[in-house]
Chains A and B, each alone.
Chain A
């Protein structure tokens, strides 16, 4: 069986006060950082897989511009526009196919380019146009609907709110307390401001290789699974997340994971809201459904160590940071042999991808 390695990761995350960067520069920075991390040059790649969102980039056929700084000039290039995770799994499939040996995956989002809430406005234009668009659904509204469904389904609503606040405080990773979260203003009921990610600018790149090159070993992509649910939010099981369970089952089977809770030492989970994270525990096998709130309140689980999306998340491509963070955790050691990165996209996580990432012996 082919081993797929993640031999290099790169991130470009401008901080407040940094000089303004163009989108192309952000992409180029992350791509070159990943290549340097892998010890490669662009000429050694045999393909580039990007995930570019026309809606977020504000361009028609964004990849015309953005594939270049990702290194695709006169090379293989494909834009998998549904999710940055789908770009990564496309590279995974290409390596497993044997048609490619060394690929760069890149995705991004630049919220500052569309300041003033226009990303949420653009999101509203992705809703089914005939019957549902006039309802005003946006990514934030869909996330809030899911959080509402979660808290309504919980045996004890107050405990669900407390668990969500605990998760949010942890994922901000800046000393924030649950009390701070609960004191922040409501933005989309029941979500409060500190339970929603701040939109930022970032680009992430990952070198995906077939094992065998000296210097490429270390971190492997042992399995990937991805699955999709209905586009009609009202018809979905927003609490049970059957598509996430299917994605996890596929990823675990491919990676040979039998008992995820016992075998996975680091979880980088989708947390566009704290409720989304809590709802993912059971489908991912981290715990039984009835244990999720207690687990979160106990605060001991190795989830989103270092912080989650609530630290700030670039639109569309930002979730690729989950993979970068998982690789960082595995490289740091501390007895962690396996990590799971979960990336979700679409309204209330319509597209779910689960990646099992391991440290090679």
Chain B
């Protein structure tokens, strides 16, 4: 991102809404989940839809639920009639990309209150993997065969080869995630697991096992973003968006296998590091290990959380796994990672990344309940989508920096 003379108008998250997440949520339809999420966020922001200037919808591949361009259908259920509405779609990163679009609505100075909302019913299509099997390049890579599971398995194997990661270290990440998820009333999976349970769970694609992996969740999430004037009007508790950025990788995994100039390869998450550098620069973060209190990172499998910690500057390349074992990233550790239980416990794809942002907001607001990190004032949320290809990062702070 270019050095800027013009400064963005300050933007804060002031209200967060989440539904309870679960495997199917049989009763609510997709649009009912949207409505429930939006109403919940508006209530948290002490607003009604009439207070909202514009709406951004987070909707990942509509093929997951079988309604093409479903933003057309959704408008009436998110309060978008006769308002500016747009829809964002960046795969798994969608939720945070939508927040980013909402941020720019307010940061531009054109809008004061923006609702960002989304939902998903991932099992609506039966098995999401059948959809995701079709996201690959049909000529060169689809036949390998890639799925969203095997692509990460291959990344994990590469990381194991390079940095000595063990399956037991991966299992430790899962134990932490499930412990935290059990404290989160909205989480899809709320039960503790042991390292042995993880290691003995069914292999999906070696080295990934069932308890190393995210579920397929239904549910919704929404946030209300506001300008400084709107924050002051009602004395909200703001979580200021002090930095936000995204970076895309090449689509072709075969083009990511060699070491980059930064020393990253397919075992790592280089584009996440690029996005983090940009977001940190905006937020004035020069020493992530000492300036960040809590992180909600999009890690759909345990080895992803390990390489994400490194890409975010919380550990040197290849050194994060032992830190997980030592408890450095536990809820009571030095830098709690995914205190909500993270994606390992809840994965409603269109809003998985927005939930990261929502949970980071709650941490800064001091409203995270049983999984609150004491004194959290600087939180980082990340998203990831595509073929581990699109990454975004947001920095939320209790103090206004922009």
A53 to B72, CA, bound (A): 13
Q: Which residue of the partner chain B has the closest CB to A247?
A: B84
Contacts of B86 in A (CB 8 A): 80, 82-83, 86, 89-90, 226
Chain A's nearest CB lies how many Å from the CB of B98? Answer: 9
Q: Which residue of the partner chain B has the closest CB to A85?
A: B86
Chain B's nearest CB lies how many Å from the CB of A254? Answer: 7
Q: Are B105 and A75 in contact (CB under 8 A)?
A: no
Chain A positions near chain B (C-beta within 8 angstroms) = 2, 46-48, 52-55, 59-61, 63-65, 67-68, 72-83, 86, 89-90, 92-94, 96-102, 122-123, 125-130, 210, 225-232, 242-243, 246-247, 250, 254, 346-347, 350-351
The one of A64, A101, A127 that contacts B251, using a Cβ cutoff of 8 Å: A64
Q: Which of B20-28, B62-70, B299-307, B370-378 contacts A (4 or more CB under 8 A)?
A: B62-70
Contacts of B59 in A (CB 8 A): 81
Q: Are B89 and A79 in contact (CB under 8 A)?
A: yes
Q: Are B249 and A228 in contact (CB under 8 A)?
A: no
Q: Are B247 and A75 in contact (CB under 8 A)?
A: yes
Contacts of A81 in B (CB 8 A): 59, 69, 71, 87-89
- 11 more contacts with CB within 8 A, not counting A46-B1, A89-B86, A346-B69, are A54-B62, A54-B63, A74-B249, A74-B250, A75-B248, A93-B105, A97-B107, A99-B4, A130-B29, A231-B72, A232-B76
Chain A's nearest CB lies how many Å from the CB of B121? Answer: 12
The one of B60, B75, B101 that contacts A350, using a Cβ cutoff of 8 Å: B75
Contacts of B228 in A (CB 8 A): none
- Tell yes or no: B259 within 8 A of A by CB: no
Q: Which of B6-14, B193-201, B215-223, B322-330 contacts A (4 or more CB under 8 A)?
A: B6-14
Q: Which residue of the partner chain A has the closest CB to B89?
A: A81
Contacts of B390 in A (CB 8 A): 63-64, 77
Contacts of B109 in A (CB 8 A): 96-97
- Could you list 7 examples of A-B contacts with CB < 8 Å? A55-B69, A60-B132, A75-B247, A92-B108, A228-B75, A228-B83, A242-B82
Tell me how many residues of B have a C-beta within 8 Å of chain A: 71
Chain A's nearest CB lies how many Å from the CB of B260? Answer: 9
- Tell yes or no: B174 within 8 A of A by CB: no
In residues 1-45 of chain B, which contact A (Cβ within 8 Å)? 1-2, 4-9, 29
The one of A61, A94, A130 that contacts B91, using a Cβ cutoff of 8 Å: A61
- Tell yes or no: B61 within 8 A of A by CB: yes
Q: Which of B163-171, B229-237, B354-362, B381-389 contacts A (4 or more CB under 8 A)?
A: B381-389
Q: Are A93 and B108 in contact (CB under 8 A)?
A: yes
A102 to B3, CA, bound (A): 12
Residue of B9, B29, B109 with highest tally of chain A CB at under 10 A? B109
A230 to B5, CA, bound (A): 40
With contacts A53-B69, A55-B68, A61-B60 taken as known, whether A68 is within 8 angstroms of B90 at the C-beta atoms is no
Q: Which residue of the partner chain B has the closest CB to A124?
A: B68
A124 to B278, CA, bound (A): 41
Contacts of A228 in B (CB 8 A): 75, 80-85
